């Protein structure tokens, strides 16, 4: 259904998010009314918009004349009654249900009956907000990401009673603001925050199981996959108590779904008052409020294979990438019929793929932990596409032949990657997190609550993931992903690692997740 952007848009809440949304509305050509019940906050919000627009001029993205025109469209609204002309009201008030219910109840009697009432909530139910609002059909979710003028995504969320016309107006407005608009279901976390949950929760489980340290896990996510920030850096930036409250909300809204069980590690940080950057201490300590970023050593230069023979056995995409990387670094790459190779890499997901040559070996830890698969070997894991990675995780058991680990780390350095030694587990760290991101996407898509295209766009544009889970599943191959999840479910016995039905069905017929 087509719709046009309302001539007048109102925004309630002049904090960072509300002011950013108001700036976008004015840039889209609408008369923009900005309201905040605190006069000083309203003044700060208007001033903040001016600074934001000045930055656009400094960067050459807007002319001074354009900014003057945009600024002229923004008006401070002292009272809710001043918002009466608005055809769309976007609420960006604090994330408390009682505040939003009170606002929408009042607005329903102020604006026109056909005006759309949009909530920028990131975690509350749009249906619940609408149920107490006269004119339920005109209430929609309109979820922006922070900072609103910069982030390229907006989620349009349909409550149970939201009309197609109201949703169409929200979509048209988002597009006029220059956003990529995705449709999201009114479920816990909508689309982006739902699929993104494993990034923090699974990382916390890895820390609790002592697979790696905080610094290691952050480095693995950044260098192994290209995330802009590691999960613990990100939690410190957002606020540990905020992240934990979201986890508790997910757990309540999904009636105790094991995938969303909050972490006791976060609860202890909160009890100690260590909330992140705002308190000077969280997962990291902060000196004088300065951002913390662990130093990353540069990856070694690729090369130095010197013709040493490496047997690579397996048919998954990562095996082919490792063959190319090893050959490019000067190693002589052979298959399972090799005689006495310097090192054998076992990337089989099924032992029927071929026998291994004798000698030192390293096992890809997808279908189990090293202890379960081959305790005398070294273990490793990497996530495809390998070209985007500067790091490969390695591990060993008490029984690992020292020569196998030494040669594995030599091969990793030879192909230009940093070898990060972690504790043993299926998928090690990065593989486990990525598999859970893919699995969560498959749950959402399989339930009809998102499309594959919207999931990938949402994760890239909403939370800056290096790629979406659908693209990741294609790069890794579903057999690899399901092998990790099945191994975790089998070895740990936890329901949070059960494979999404859609993932299992697509694997059975040889289809991809997209």
DSSP 490-513: HHH--GGGPPPHHHHHHHHTT---
Structure tokens at 143: 């979820």
- The 8 Å CB, 24+ separation contacts for 492-497 are 494/258, 495/258, 496/258, 496/259, 496/261, 497/436
HEC letters along 396-449: CCCCCCHHHHHHHHHHHHHCCCEEEECCCCCCCCHHHHHHHHHHHHHHHHHCCC
Catalytic annotation on 146?
Answer: no
The catalytic residue among 125, 162, 163, 193 is 193
Distance CA 181, CA 172 (A): 9
Residue with tokens 């191994």: 487
The catalytic residue among 155, 241, 321, 420 is 155
What number of CA atoms fall less than 13 Å from residue 443's CA on the CB side? 23
The catalytic residue among 122, 163, 389, 473 is 122
Give CA angle at 219 (390, 437), nearest 5°. Answer: 90
Among candidates 430, 395, 437, 432, which has minimal Cα distance to 412?
A: 395
Bridge partners for 218 per DSSP: none
Angle, helices 240-253/264-271, rounded to nearest 10 degrees: 140
Distance CA 362, CA 34 (A): 61
Among candidates 221, 196, 193, which has minimal Cα distance to 207?
A: 221
Catalytic annotation on 480?
Answer: no
Distance CA 464, CA 56 (A): 21
Collapsing DSSP to helix, strand or coil, 11 comes out as strand
User: Is 364 in contact with 345 (CB distance < 8 Å)?
Assistant: yes
The catalytic residue among 91, 120, 125, 143 is 143
Structure tokens at 5: 């952007």
Catalytic annotation on 193?
Answer: yes
Catalytic annotation on 143?
Answer: yes
Bridge partners for 329 per DSSP: none
Distance CA 485, CA 349 (A): 13
Q: Which residues form the catalytic set?
A: 122, 143, 155, 193
């Amino acid at each position: 259904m087509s719709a046009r952007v309302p001539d007048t848009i109102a925004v309630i809440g002049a904090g960072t998010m509300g002011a950013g949304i108001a700036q976008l509305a004015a840039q889209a050509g609408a008369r923009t009314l900005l309201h905040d019940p605190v006069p000083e906050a309203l003044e700060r919000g208007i001033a903040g918009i001016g600074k934001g627009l000045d930055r656009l001029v400094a960067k050459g993205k807007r002319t001074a004349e354009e900014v003057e025109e945009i600024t002229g469209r923004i008006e401070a609204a002292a009272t809710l009654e001043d918002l009466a002309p608005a055809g769309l009201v976007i609420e960006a008030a604090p994330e408390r249900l009682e505040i939003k219910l009170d606002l929408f109840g009042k607005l329903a009697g102020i604006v026109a009956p056909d005006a759309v009432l949009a909530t920028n909530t990131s975690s509350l139910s749009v249906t619940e907000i609408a149920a107490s609002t006269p004119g339920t059909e005109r209430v929609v979710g309109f979820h922006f990401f922070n900072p609103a003028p910069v982030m390229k995504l907006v989620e349009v969320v349909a409550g149970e009673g939201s009309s197609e016309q109201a949703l169409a107006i929200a979509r048209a407005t988002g597009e006029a603001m220059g956003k990529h608009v995705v449709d999201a279901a009114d479920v816990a976390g909508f689309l982006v925050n739902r699929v993104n949950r494993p990034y923090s929760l699974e990382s916390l489980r890895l820390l609790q199981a002592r697979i790696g340290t905080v610094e290691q896990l952050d480095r693995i996510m950044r260098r192994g996959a290209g995330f802009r920030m590691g999960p613990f850096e990100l939690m410190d930036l957002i606020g540990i108590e905020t992240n934990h409250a979201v986890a508790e909300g997910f757990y309540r809204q999904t009636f105790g779904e094991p995938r969303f069980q909050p972490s006791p590690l976060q609860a202890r940080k909160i009890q100690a008052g260590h909330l992140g950057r705002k308190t000077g201490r969280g997962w990291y300590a902060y000196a004088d409020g300065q951002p913390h970023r662990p130093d990353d050593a540069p990856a070694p230069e690729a090369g130095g294979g010197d013709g040493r023979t490496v047997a690579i056995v397996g048919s998954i995409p990562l095996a082919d990438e490792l063959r190319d990387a090893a050959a490019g670094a000067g190693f002589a790459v052979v298959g399972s019929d090799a005689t006495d190779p310097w090192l054998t890499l076992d990337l089989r997901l099924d032992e029927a793929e071929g026998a291994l040559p004798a000698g030192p070996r390293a096992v890809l830890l997808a279908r189990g932990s090293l202890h379960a698969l081959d305790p005398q070997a070294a273990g490793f894991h990497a996530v495809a596409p390998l070209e985007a990675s500067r790091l490969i995780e390695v591990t060993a058991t008490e029984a690992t032949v020292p020569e196998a680990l030494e040669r594995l780390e030599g091969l990793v350095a030879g192909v230009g990657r940093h070898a990060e030694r972690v504790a043993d587990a299926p998928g090690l760290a990065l593989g486990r997190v990525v598999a859970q991101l893919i699995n969560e996407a498959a749950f959402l898509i399989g339930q009809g609550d998102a499309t594959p295209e919207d999931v990938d766009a949402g994760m890239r544009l909403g939370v800056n993931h290096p790629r979406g889970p659908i693209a990741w599943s294609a790069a890794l191959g579903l057999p690899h992903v399901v092998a990790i999840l099945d191994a975790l479910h089998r070895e740990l016995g936890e329901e949070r690692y059960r494979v999404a039905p859609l993932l299992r069905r697509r694997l059975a017929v040889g289809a991809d997740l997209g």
